[in-house]
Amino acid sequence: MAWLAFTLYLTGVLVAFGLRTWLHRRRTGDTGHRPSHPPIGTAAWWAQILLAAGLLGGFAAPLLDATGLLAPVPILDHRWLHIVGLIAAVAGFIGIPAAQHAMGSSWRIGVDAAEHTTLVTAGAFRFVRNPIFTAMLTATAGITAMTPTWPQLLVLAAVFAGIELQVRVVEEPYLQATHGPAYTAYTRRTGRFLPGIGKIEHEISV
C-alpha cells in the first residue's frame, strides 16, 4: 500500500503542478506562477515553509514506509482505513486539476498584489471558495490513511496549517482588496473549504 501511495502522490503532484503549468503556459503564454518573498517569520512566510515541507514530506514519508525504514502507527494500520484513504486520495488528485481547470486563465500559484484577475465563482467555486485546497487536503488525508506513519501525520498537519495561513493571511486579503464588494458577497454565501462552513459575514480587513 505504501508503494501505491507513493506512486499516486508522485503522479498527482506531476499532474497538478507540472502538467497544469505546461498547459497554462501553452494556452496563455504565462506559467501562472507568482513567487513571493515575504519577510522571514511572518505568517505568509510560515505558510510557504509549511506548504513546502508538506510537499517534500509527502514524497519522503510514503517512500520511507515502502522501503521499510518507517513503520505505520499501529492504531491506524487497518486495511479498511487504507482502502478509504485510497478512495480519498484518488478523489483529491482528480479534484485538484478539475478545480484548476475551472479557474481558466485566472489560475495562479502564489499572489501578485498588483495583478487583477477575474473572480471565479462558477463550477466547483459555487460550493466552496477554495476547491483546489480542499482537494489537496483530501488527497493528503487519503495518502496519510494509506501510509499512516508519524512523519506522514506531520505532513498532513503541515499541509493543513500551511493552507490555512495561505488562505487567511495572503489570498483572502488580496481578493478582498482586488474585488471589493463582489468578494464580500461571495464570502457571505460560500464556505471556505466546505459548503456552508467558513462563510464571512464582514468585510475582510486588508
Q: What is the mean pLDDT of each run of 10 residues along the chain (206 residues)?
A: 94 95 92 92 96 96 93 93 97 96 91 89 95 98 97 97 96 94 94 91 66
pLDDT of residue 1: 87
Q: Tell me, what's the pLDDT at 202? A: 67
And the C-alpha cell for 77? 494500520
pLDDT of amino acid 203: 63
The reported pLDDT for the residue numbered 159 is: 98
pLDDT of residue 17: 92
3-37 burial code (b ≥16 CB/10 A, e <16): ebbbebbeebbebbeeebbebbeeeeeeebeeeee
Q: What is the pLDDT of residue 126?
A: 95
Q: How far apart are CA 44 and CA 48, in angstroms?
A: 7
What is the pLDDT at residue 201?
A: 72
Phi, psi of 194 (to 5 degrees): -125, 145
Read off the C-alpha cell for 199: 462563510
